[in-house]
Amino acid sequence: MLKKNALRRIMVSSIALFIVGILYFFPDNKTEESITPNVSYIEVNKTPIYLINKDNYVVRTNIATTNKDPLNKAKELLNALTIDGDKTEYILKNFKPIIPKNTKVLDISLKDGLLKINFSKEFLNVKKDDEEKLIEAIIYTLTEIKDIKEIMIFIEETKLDILPQNKIILPNTLTRDFGINKVYDLTNLKNTTKTTIYYVGKENDLTYYIPITKIDNKTNNKVEIIINELKSSPIYETNLISYLASSVKLLNYEALENQIELSFNNEIFSDFKEENIQEEVKYSISLSLKDSLKVENVIFKVNDKIITTFKENN
């Protein structure tokens, strides 16, 4: 009898050990899921931002952003534009932000394309020579966001209507019509034309773009002004470069709603065999037309054949 009880206990123990072994080596799905960590991924996008380069121009380069919502994206970019802000480490060497250190965004709202920003008083702690550049950098950075068309700036609830150090009167709402890195060539104050042209900047292997708003009395339309200016010899003495060859001819163009078609001779090709247009040429022309004509698409044609299309969505 004792022998039978002993055998029974041994069998029960063996079966129990066998079951434990199976559970150990072959855990069920719930056990596996419970020990697997939840991993979430943040999508990072390249977004245009306007910073100050070593030659003190307000220039267009890119920064990594994580927000898609336009208001949150605006907050993120304002942080990046602030000296010693949280995103300073993401700004490339030889470029610098311009909003004064310790400036806070006290309130911000977006409605029907109008962005209202209420800054703390530190916003006014900007050097006199940088005062207008500060406004330009904010306008051009934030209006790269598709949903933002115009901006109002407030300092602790009071609307900024005049730049206090330079006595420059600001329009009621700020748009890209304000201009950037302005150059004046006027013979009189009547019939003025304002055209923004993007030149190429180089920093080691990095290509960026330098917008110059030219204010003059030229009677040409803006398309012709842009192409003619970019065809001029490279302006090395002011660190502004254009890669558009002087032999390039604009044969025709047609402006449609939100886009423009440009027809060139084949001198626009950087490679005749491959029929390629150099990236810097495409961007210089397209960014200039986008600003000056408010178009979204620029179509490049040679011999009635579409070669490439420029379109940016931010």
Q: Which residue type, as a one-letter code, is found at position 20?
A: V
pLDDT digits (tens, 9 = 90+) for 49-96: 999 999 999 999 999 998 999 999 999 999 999 999 988 888 888 899
pLDDT of residue 92: 84
* Better-predicted residue by pLDDT, 74 or 185: 74
pLDDT of residue 32: 38
Contact partners, residue 191, CB within 8 Å, separation at least 6: 217, 219
pLDDT at 251 over 60: yes
Query: Is 217:193 a contact under the CB 8 Å cutoff?
Result: yes
pLDDT of residue 41: 52
* Better-predicted residue by pLDDT, 102 or 14: 102
Residue 271 carries which DSSP code?
Answer: B
Complete DSSP assignment for 108-154: EEEETTEEEEEE-GGGG---GGGHHHHHHHHHHHHTTSTT--EEEEE
- Which whole number is the average pLDDT over 25-42? 45
Residue 18: phi and psi, rounded to 5, are -60, -45
pLDDT at 242 over 60: yes
Query: Is 147:50 a contact under the CB 8 Å cutoff?
Result: no
Query: Domains of the chain: which residue ranges?
Result: 2-35, 45-178, 183-311
pLDDT digits (tens, 9 = 90+) for 91-118: 888 899 999 999 999 999 999 999 999 9
pLDDT digits (tens, 9 = 90+) for 187-234: 777 788 899 999 999 888 889 999 999 998 877 789 999 999 999 855
Nearest to 66 by CA among 55, 58, 77: 77
% the chain with pLDDT above 90: 66
In the structure encoding, which two tokens stand for residue 9, read together? 């206990």
